[in-house]
């Protein structure tokens, strides 16, 4: 599978828009994840002013943040629906993010991310 990665330019633009200081990190989306800002991140994603690289980076941030959110045993159907809609609608753009979080071949519940079952549902929908 061709792995897409988050560009430094995307980190810089999103960092400026969202007030992040972390730039150039390989794990930018994990370091900047914020379970309390998912709605804000989705609002920016839905704004048509981003290019594909920026949307890819922002969705990686959204998914990492939602994983943190789910790990607190919270559930927000509306939030999950918004994320699911974007991942399925833009499946090709986000394929490497989906692949990473789905943990293909892993079956032990204790080794899965909190978001893995949610992501596997998206994969199972044949997106």
* 38 occurs within a structural domain: yes
* pLDDT band at residue 2 using 50, 70 and 90 as cut-offs: low
Is pLDDT of 82 > 60? Answer: yes
In a domain, residue 57? The reply is yes
| Percent of the chain residues past pLDDT 90, beyond the cut | 77
The parent domain of residue 64 ranges over 8-124
Do the domain assignments include residue 2? no
Give per-residue pLDDT as tens, 27-40.
999 999 999 999 99
Q: Which two tokens stand for residue 42?
A: 């989705």
Give me the mean pLDDT over the 11-32 stretch: 87
In-domain check, residue 118: yes
Nearest C-alpha neighbor of 67 from the set 18, 44, 100: 100
Identify whether 34 is part of a domain: yes
Report, as an integer, the average pLDDT of 53-64.
Answer: 97
Distance (Å, whole) CA 57 – CA 52: 9
Distance CA 34, CA 61 (A): 8
The DSSP call for residue 27 is: T
Average pLDDT score over residue span 4-33: 88
Q: Is the pLDDT of residue 63 over 60?
A: yes
pLDDT at position 125 is 57
- Whether 3 is covered by a domain: the verdict is no
What is the number of domains present in the chain? Answer: 1
What per-residue confidence (pLDDT) applies to 92? 94
Torsion of the alpha carbons at 62, 68, 80 and 117, rounded to the nearest 10? 110
């Amino acid at each position: 599978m061709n792995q897409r990665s988050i560009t430094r330019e995307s980190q810089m633009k999103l960092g400026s828009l969202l007030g992040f200081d972390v730039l150039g990190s390989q794990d930018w989306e994990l370091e900047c994840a914020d379970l309390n800002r998912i709605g804000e991140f989705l609002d920016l994603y839905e704004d048509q002013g981003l290019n594909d690289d920026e949307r890819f980076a922002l969705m990686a941030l959204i998914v990492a943040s939602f994983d943190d959110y789910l790990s607190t045993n919270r559930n927000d159907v509306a939030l999950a629906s918004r994320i699911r809609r974007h991942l399925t609608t833009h499946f090709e753009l986000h394929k490497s993010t989906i692949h990473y979080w789905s943990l293909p071949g892993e079956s032990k519940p204790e080794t899965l991310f909190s978001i893995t079952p949610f992501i596997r549902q998206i994969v199972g929908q044949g997106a």
